[in-house]
Amino acid sequence: MPHSSLLTTKVYLLLGSNEGNRLEWFDKAMDLLRAGGCVVVAQSAVYETAAWGKEDQPDFLNMALCVATTLLPLQLLALTQSIEHQLGRQRTVKWGQRTLDIDILLYGNEVVDTPALQVPHPQLPNRRFALVPLADVAANLVHPTLHTTISGLLAVCPDALAVRKYEF
């Protein structure tokens, strides 16, 4: 049996889009993640939510992915930011309209706290639009610092924003 010195980590990502052909951005992002060394293990349903933080913009589609990768956290961040850029993301307005946003929600059980990246995503427990799709693929996964399952976090999430399954 071949032995690999590279350990594969299960990582949970959230894709979001509220500009252009939102579903096409998701498909292209998954293709680029695969090309960058990620294996898509599971994907949630697609959900639609009103914009959060800056509300005077179109509704978002969101989808969670579980990917397996040998990339280290900052390498994965570089890949996700490169994909956002390739697909036309402009970072001009905080929480503004975007073709594609890729958030690293969880990186295995690791805690990463650098100026560039914080994992687990610090706002995950407060965002229904992230927890609902994440619960599709990892309801029983235990958050590494809060020691509560994703479904448990969803049950007590303070965010009241409606998250509806998107009908294609």
**Residues involved in catalysis:** 89, 98, 101, 103
Antiparallel, parallel or unpaired: β 47-49 and 60-69? antiparallel
Q: Phi and psi of 152, rounded to 5°?
A: -65, -40
Which residues sit opposite 12 in a β-bridge?
Answer: 66, 106
134 backbone φψ class: left, alpha, beta (φ>0; ψ -120 to 50) = alpha
**Whats the size of the chain, residue-wise?**
168
Which residues sit opposite 9 in a β-bridge?
Answer: 69
Amino acid at 158: P
